[in-house]
Structure 1
Amino acid sequence: MSTIAIVGAGPQLGRAIGRRFAAEGFDVALIARTRSTLETIAGDLTGGGRRAEVFPADVTDRDALRDALTAAEQRLGPIDVLEYSPAPTPADLRRAPLVRAREVAVDGVLAAQLDLYLLGGVAAVTHVLPGMLARGTGTVLVSSGAGSGPLIAPYAASVQIATGGLRNWILNLHADLAGTGVYAAHVAIAAFIGQGGPASDPATIADAYWRLHATRADAELVIDDLPADFRERGLADKFLTG
């Protein structure tokens, strides 16, 4: 049986991705900070012989993140698919508030954003990648808000420096992994998940993740469901969903 590890698993997108892959026969490892949230999601995914296990960890604590992934491998077997999509909590935003492009400074809030997005993503991916390469198969799907590249977001520059770096690395990883049997792709989400049109429905987005894994072709998928007036008012820079 195959295993997907969802890092940053939450009650909307994480749950939907877990449900979609579980429907295809995957066991699901759920990794995020809050055990109670993970246990609620796991209870919704089990059945039909499928397993969903919880491994609480903060992605900004790299040792804890690697320990959670190791525990998932020990309980559920090798990780065949890694999905990384950390979402900031109110505490994260207080610790690392949004900063306009003109206000970014080295000795400012940038380090906390790099911690959450770029360094956590690199830690998760590089943990599972050697095993995937050794087996000659595996999928890495990394998600961020579309301000990581496809969407310009000056108000959230402190976030976009971090997510832009992660996106760039994954796109390069996609190219570098050609011929290895391991596939990496970036998903740029320009949508209020669960709050907009049909394209923002968590199940619809999860279907797109499954297609990426199944077809293993595209380096990037952009999910665009922002309202037109949201763009016209110049508020797209406040969109942070990942």
Structure 2
Amino acid sequence: MPLLTVIGAGPGLGLEIARVFGHAGFTVALLSRHQEKLDGLAALLADEGIQAKGFAADIARPETLTAALQAVKDEQGPIDVLEFSPADVSLAPASVLEVTPENLQPQIDFYLGGALRAAGAVLPDMIARGSGTILVTTGGGSITPNAAYANIGIAAAGLRNWTLNLHDALQPQGVYVAHIAISALINAGHPDAAADVIAKSYLDLYVKRDRAELHYVAHTA
């Protein structure tokens, strides 16, 4: 069975991405900071017949991310799809007139640095076998700037830029990379912003492999 690995797994979009891929025949590895939470999510998926396991990792501690991804490969085999959508609410947003090097760098380290490390752990294997998928998620501010969240947007825009370049560089080698920007308040009331609806777009990207980017737009009810 192919293996999906979700970095930033939680009870919202991460769980629904795992669910939609799991029902499509994937085994699932879930990564986030808290093992107890991961075990609960894995149990929910197991109740639906999806083979899933959690691996604790903290992007703010890079060695734990590298170790967790190695454990996934050692225990479950090669990673076919890597989905990257972590969040850290402890990183405070700063408006455009409040951005400083001090409040910007942690955002860059977390989002862009985390993605670089995650991709670095799986890309050599994907390139060697000529197949694999990396799906990188950001908020819509990576495309449409929001002055109230300027430091987050700068980091997200950098992550988007890198992801799109990676798509172009790896496409000839059989590895598919795509960026998903979500301009929606997930599970806030609008049916198009429901996590289970958004998650279907990820499987659609994986299957079709026909674009470098999806800007998912929905509005609250």
TM class, shorter-length: over 0.9
Over 3 Å counting, the alpha-carbon distance change for 1:198 and 1:227 in structure 2 is: closer
What is the CA-CA distance between 1:48 and the residue it aligns to? 7.3
Normalization by structure 2: what TM-score? 0.96
1:110 is aligned to 2:104 = yes
Which residue identity does 2:77 align to in structure 1? Answer: G
1:27-176 mapped onto 2 (5 Å cutoff): 27-46=27-46, 50-89=50-89, 92=90, 96-106=91-101, 108-149=102-143, 151-176=144-169
Q: Secondary structure at the match of 2:92?
A: coil
Residues 84-104 of structure 1 show CA distances to partners (whole Å, capped at 9, x for unaligned) of: 001223xx1xxx321112222
Deviation for aligned residue 1:61: 1.3
Residues 194/7 of structure 1: CA separation in 2 closer, same or farther (3 Å cut):
same
**Per-residue deviation, residues 199-227 of structure 1 (Å, max 9, x unmatched):** 11111111100000000111111111124
Q: Shift of residue 22 of structure 1?
A: 0.6
8 Å contact from structure 2 (residues 136, 178) kept in 1: yes
Distance 1:138 1:69 in 2: 15
Shift of 1:109: 1.0
Aligned equivalents of 2:74, 2:22: Cα separation in 1 = 19
Q: TM-score, normalized by length of structure 1? A: 0.88
Is the 8 Å Cα contact of residues 196 and 225 (structure 1) preserved in structure 2?
A: no
**Partner residue of 1:19?**
19
Give, in whole Å, the separation in 2 of the partners of 1:46 and 1:227.
Answer: 32
Say if 2:193 is the partner of 1:200: yes
Alignment length, in residue pairs? 221
Measured against aligned partners, the alpha-carbon deviations of 1:129-184 in whole angstroms (never above 9, x if no partner) come to 110000110000000100012x2211111111111111100011111112211000
Please identify, of 195-204 and 181-190, the stretch whose mean Cα deviation from structure 2 is larger: 195-204
**Identity within the alignment, %:** 43
Between the aligned partners of 2:31 and 2:88, the Cα distance in structure 1 is 14
| SS in structure 1 at match of 2:94 | coil
Q: Which runs of 5+ in 1 are unaligned?
A: 229-242
